[in-house]
Amino acid sequence: MRIAPAILIATVVSSLVCVPAHAAKDCEELKSEIAQKLEAKGVKSYTLDIVGKDEEVKGDSKVVGACGGGAKKIVYTRGAAPAEKAPADSTKP
């Protein structure tokens, strides 16, 4: 049985919204944990951005965590692939 992607993403996002539990965490550490959970659920096309707590969340984006003592939030946006690190020596042919 296949679960619809929208339901899967909604479930993952809603399980990550527990803001007070994550507010004291380091932003990069929390972002990495959220990315691991999303990928474990099979989510492939998304971005996670760390923004200020007062920054407006636009479109289909959702706040999935808070960090930096509540000064910042992590925003999930569906549809864009996560940034991949380029190899350290990418100038060689």
Per-residue model confidence as pLDDT tens for the chain (93 residues): 555 666 656 666 665 555 455 467 899 999 999 999 999 999 989 999 999 999 999 899 999 999 999 999 999 999 865 454 444 444 545
Distances (CA, A) of 8 to 3, 52, 72, 82, 92: 7, 27, 25, 18, 41
pTM for the full predicted model: 0.63
Strand partners, 50: 74
3-state secondary structure of 7: helix
Separation of alpha carbons 14 and 60, rounded Å: 14
What residues are paired with 67 via a beta bridge? 72
Indicate the residue type of 86. A
Sheet (strand 62-67) strand order: 46-52, 72-78, 62-67
